Amino acid sequence: MRVLTKYFSTSPALVRIAPLVIIVLLTSGQGMLGEDSRYWLYLVKMLVGGWLIWEMLPYVPEMHWAFSWEAVGVGVGVFVLWVGITGSWATQNTLWPKLGLDTFWVKLGLTHAAAAPVKFWNPVLQFGNHPLLARFFIVARILGSTWIVPPLEEAFYRSFLYRYIARPDFLSVPLNRFLPVPFLATALVFGASHNEWIAGILCGAAYQWLVLRNNRLGEAMTAHAITNFLLGGWVVWRGAWNFW
């Protein structure tokens, strides 16, 4: 890890890309050592994510938290969209079978969520005999999705990807410059990276609007955190584990 972070000061792209890639790679390993490992590795992943954010801060000056009421409004609005958009087209888990593409992924040798039984994150079910442990992982999930995920994702999607699509010399592109193609492309990629793809596209567009409006990531990070916190509360309150 120290070998990686020493390059952060010399590569503006790496400092915005590598942390999220590391988190994605750790996510792909969850469950490989048994079902319990999904939860323990998530905890490790969030600790690593927190350390990566600390290492990023000196080199990503736009990645600082900022509060505004418009960020609160966007965060709450995206949460409502996330839980409110339903139907057989609303998630990738249901979309691919509906389009007959679930077998297509298998033929390509790819493991897709649609090609296997979906396993939701449910510590209450997994650790039913250990309620304190179940609560611990619920809290870890909510804290991780609230404080760790937003800075990492906003730095990649809004600071790097949006501007890189516009110009490889992405630092020369102001954060507050509206560019239709990068705006649409970034929203689509963000949506494709989430199971709730329709809500994800709208979510990506809303967070990008905050960045364009404020010329920094702070409000988008706050909105992202509010959305994820409310979603975590909804999951626990309603038992809607499919969102995790």
- Give the pLDDT confidence of 24-41 residue by residue, as tens digits: 999 988 888 888 999 999
**Would you state the pLDDT for residue 99?**
80
DSSP 103-158: HHHHHTT---GGGS------HHHHTTT-HHHHHHHHHHHHHIIIIIHHHHHHIIII
Residue 195, CA distances (Å) to 35, 41, 112, 172 in order: 20, 20, 11, 33
Query: Average model confidence (pLDDT) for the chain?
Result: 91
Q: Which amino acid belongs to residue 115?
A: A
Contact 78, 223 (CB under 8 A): yes
Alpha-carbon distance of 175 to 178, in angstroms, equals 8
Instruction: Give the DSSP H or E segment for 64.
Output: none
Residue 213 has pLDDT above 60, yes or no: yes
Q: Average of pLDDT values for 129-144?
A: 96
Contact 45, 51 (CB under 8 A): no
Residue 155 has pLDDT above 60, yes or no: yes
Confidence tier at 111 by pLDDT (50, 70, 90) = very low
**Would you state the pLDDT for residue 175?**
98
Q: Average of pLDDT values for 218-229?
A: 98
This prediction has a pTM of: 0.92
Which residue in 60, 68, 45 sits closest to 156, CA to CA? 60
Contact 134, 124 (CB under 8 A): yes
